[in-house]
Structure 1
């Protein structure tokens, strides 16, 4: 995948995350600033999603840890444990606010 395709895919992922948050009425503020999407919950918990263009990876930083995802076989897969991006993000959100949301991938 070239850089333009990577940016298109990750823009779509950020939009998907925003839509899921809005559709589920989560009590979370979110801000996109360049390559970073910050989620801040009412109790101060944060999840940071970063797209690392040079490595063509998506990163999640949450209380549960840091995760790096690369695009493999049509999915974003974690280098550490083989987990899928949206499943990991959903678990991190549930840990942060106690609510489970799905993503319309």
Structure 2
């Protein structure tokens, strides 16, 4: 994957995270504060916990930090998959965000 291809896919992922937060806030009382600075999106939940999604340009990865731990994802041409075989980015984001929000949430 070239640097421009990575950036296209990574930017699309960040936009999808942001739009997912907007939709969740419109459809529920989860009240997730989403803030973006450059290649990083910080999700802050009502209880003060956070999930941070940031781009790792030199590695062509996306990193996710949550209460559950830190995770690295690479694009396989169709999806962002955990580099240790622990699943797909948006499925995992939904699981970790649901745990931190105390209610079921879906990104996508």
TM-score norm. by structure 2 comes to 0.88
Q: Distance in 2 between matches of 1:82 and 1:64?
A: 12
Q: Distance in 2 between matches of 1:101 and 1:2?
A: 33
Bigger helix share = 2
Q: Deviations over 1:14-58 (max 9, x none)?
A: 111111111121311111111111111111100000110000001
Task: Please give the root-mean-square deviation of Cα atoms over the aligned residues, in Å.
Answer: 1.3
Aligned partners of 2:32 and 2:44 also within 8 Å:
yes
Bigger strand share = 1
Q: Distance in 1 between matches of 2:48 and 2:85?
A: 27
Alignment of 1:10-49 (within 5 A): 10-25=10-25, 26-49=30-53
What is aligned with 2:62?
58
Deviates more, 1:17-26 or 1:42-51: 17-26
Deviation beyond 6 Å, 4+ runs, structure 1: none
TM-score norm. by structure 1 comes to 0.90
- Alignment partner of 1:101: what SS? coil
Deviates more, 1:53-62 or 1:21-30: 21-30
- Alignment partner of 1:44: what SS? coil
Unaligned runs of 5+ residues in structure 2 are none
Aligned partners of 1:36 and 1:49 also within 8 Å:
yes
Aligned partners of 1:20 and 1:101 also within 8 Å:
no
Aligned partners of 2:93 and 2:107 also within 8 Å:
no
